[in-house]
Chains A and B, each alone.
Chain A
Amino acid sequence: MSRLRPTPGLFAVSVVASLLLGLMPLPAALLAAKPYWIALVLIYWLLEAPDRAGLGTAFLIGLAADVVFGTLIGEQALRLTIIAFLVLRFRARLRFFPLSQQAVAVFALLLNDRVVTLGIRAFSGEGLPPLTFWLAPVVGTLLWPWLFLLLDGLRLRLRVRDL
């Protein structure tokens, strides 16, 4: 898959779209279930096109997200860098997992990210969040196969059209 023609347009568009999805207002009941879109998109690109996305990219996307979401500058950069490191470390294995198994790995990554977030916020003096804080990784896991298929399909289509 990484032999595919690079698709710089799709990469940028998907990252911006993930930022927008994160900002999108939802009904109050669904708010807690909002997955960490940026991480999901980043994991996809790390798995499929590691020549395009690496630790540095993750760091920069994180900085952008910090500015957009008004978090401490560096918070999301740290979180995404940790995710990127773990994905790259286990990339060879993750890539050949079936989608369901991959989703479980993504769940572990997102859960770890939640723990890191909790650590950072505890350090900066914010209190413990309610239990629904842990809902987002579950939703992210359920969405992962669809996101994966969608981005894969888009890449394939773009390539076919260019040939």
Chain B
Amino acid sequence: MTYSGNSSGPLFAEGGAGALRLLAYLMVAVILMVADFRGGYLQQLRGWLSLLNEPLYRIASSPAVAASALRDAMVGRQNLAADRDALRSELLVAQAQLGRLDAVQRENERLRQLMGGTRGLRLQVQLASLADIDLDPFRHRIVLDRGGRAGVRTGLAIIDGSGLVGQVTQVTPMRANAILISDPSHAVPVQVQRSGLRTIAFGTGELNRLVIPNIPQSADIRVGDLLITSGMGGGFPAGLLVAHITRLQPDETRLFGLAEARPVAALDRSGEVLLVWDQPADALDEMGPPALPEPPTESPKLPADATPIDEAAVDDRGPSQ
């Protein structure tokens, strides 16, 4: 073989990639993306293929699982005892608060009946764990270990012990993907708890910051105010804690205000989360705080381990689905 010296020679032709083939592949990729984005036509396909993910997810999360198991094994008796004592006192406080809540709830119920019986919504929760894998640090997505088989469906709100975490975006039989409220493409309708001002909180791509743009200058909002979900739009149940305001400033136009808020939930790796969905309360007398686990028979769609927690925190604006 002689060296041909230009780019059309065998040296370059070997394994060469034609621009035409590139274009063809790019076209196919773009069509797939559009189909996935617009129509969700590929949801079914994704569901099947995701079963193949299972072993990969298992292996990828095994170091983290092993590490936490090791930590559990190494932690001493004393620490465990201290933890137990702390939890016990927390439980006491929580129970005391629940007792008070119970009274408030009954009062709320009576008032509702007086006002003509707008029925509250019942919140159902189910426990799920985050899988110890990291999809993409810039997209604020998480993977849960419950999927369609456990009754999870797209759009469910996710909370942890302190507040709103995100919502479910994709469901496969074994897993569910969710988007965090801090994702730059996520927005949640909120309400200032103190003044009732309704607005929208957008994610920023940083785990500890949300922004609330376009606040009118006359609006009643202050640093330190708590934001709760307003239930507008039907995406989230009303009354879940979201964030507290950390900073207020005028925006570029100086006509509106711009607020920054810090999510109350621990968005960076909270190990366990609750999936929440609301459901019209069918029978008023069955309402109540989470004292006893109710049998799941009243709601055939729900999985067996779902327990009702709260129903009356939802006001009339919360759309019933």
> At the interface, yes or no: A149 with Cβ under 8 Å from chain B?
no
CB distance from B212 to the nearest CB of A (A): 15
- Asked whether, in the complex, the Cβ of A78 is within 8 Å of the Cβ of B33, the reply is yes
A24 contacts across to B, CB distance below 8 A: 60, 63, 133-134
Question: How distant is the Cα of A92 from the Cα of B206 in the complex, in angstroms?
Answer: 42
Interface string of A19-53 (1 = CB under 8 A from B): 11001111010011010000000000000001100
A interface: dominant SS:
helix
Instruction: Report how many A-B pairs have Cβ atoms within 8 Å.
Output: 133
- Asked whether, in the complex, the Cβ of B49 is within 8 Å of the Cβ of A23, the reply is no
- Asked whether, in the complex, the Cβ of A68 is within 8 Å of the Cβ of B205, the reply is no
Q: How large is the interface on B (under 10, 10 to 19, 20 to 34, 35 or more residues)?
A: 35 or more
- Asked whether, in the complex, the Cβ of B22 is within 8 Å of the Cβ of A85, the reply is yes
Interface string of B1-25 (1 = CB under 8 A from A): 0000000000110111101011001
Among A23, A28, A91, the residue within 8 A (CB) of B133 is A23
Question: How distant is the Cα of A81 from the Cα of B46 in the complex, in angstroms?
Answer: 21
Given contacts A73-B33, A78-B26, A126-B185, contact A25 B17 (CB under 8 A): no
Question: How distant is the Cα of A141 from the Cα of B134 in the complex, in angstroms?
Answer: 21
Among B29, B61, B64, the residue within 8 A (CB) of A59 is B29
Residues of B104-133 contacting chain A, CB below 8 A = 132-133
CB distance from B17 to the nearest CB of A (A): 4
Interface string of A66-96 (1 = CB under 8 A from B): 0111111111011001101100110110000
A78 contacts across to B, CB distance below 8 A: 25-26, 29-30, 33
- Asked whether, in the complex, the Cβ of B32 is within 8 Å of the Cβ of A71, the reply is no
> At the interface, yes or no: B177 with Cβ under 8 Å from chain A?
yes
- Asked whether, in the complex, the Cβ of B143 is within 8 Å of the Cβ of A67, the reply is no
A20 contacts across to B, CB distance below 8 A: 56, 59-60
- Asked whether, in the complex, the Cβ of A73 is within 8 Å of the Cβ of B42, the reply is yes
B11 contacts across to A, CB distance below 8 A: 92
Given contacts A51-B15, A89-B17, A127-B185, contact A81 B135 (CB under 8 A): no
- Asked whether, in the complex, the Cβ of B21 is within 8 Å of the Cβ of A55, the reply is yes
- Asked whether, in the complex, the Cβ of B206 is within 8 Å of the Cβ of A130, the reply is yes
Residues of B46-66 contacting chain A, CB below 8 A = 46, 49-50, 52-53, 56-57, 59-61, 63-64
Among A23, A59, A84, A88, the residue within 8 A (CB) of B135 is A23
Given contacts A26-B134, A31-B134, A51-B15, contact A74 B61 (CB under 8 A): no
- Asked whether, in the complex, the Cβ of B46 is within 8 Å of the Cβ of A73, the reply is yes
Question: How distant is the Cα of A123 from the Cα of B44 in the complex, in angstroms?
Answer: 24
CB distance from B38 to the nearest CB of A (A): 10
- Asked whether, in the complex, the Cβ of B22 is within 8 Å of the Cβ of A126, the reply is no
Which residue of the partner chain A has the closest CB to B206?
A130
- Asked whether, in the complex, the Cβ of B184 is within 8 Å of the Cβ of A128, the reply is yes
Among B35, B46, B205, the residue within 8 A (CB) of A67 is B46
Which residue of the partner chain A has the closest CB to B16?
A88
Residue pairs across A and B with Cβ atoms less than 8 A apart, 9 shown, are A23-B133, A25-B132, A67-B50, A73-B35, A73-B46, A74-B31, A88-B16, A127-B185, A127-B205
Can you list the 4 inter-chain pairs with the closest CB atoms, starting with the nearest? Answer: A127-B184, A50-B15, A74-B32, A23-B60
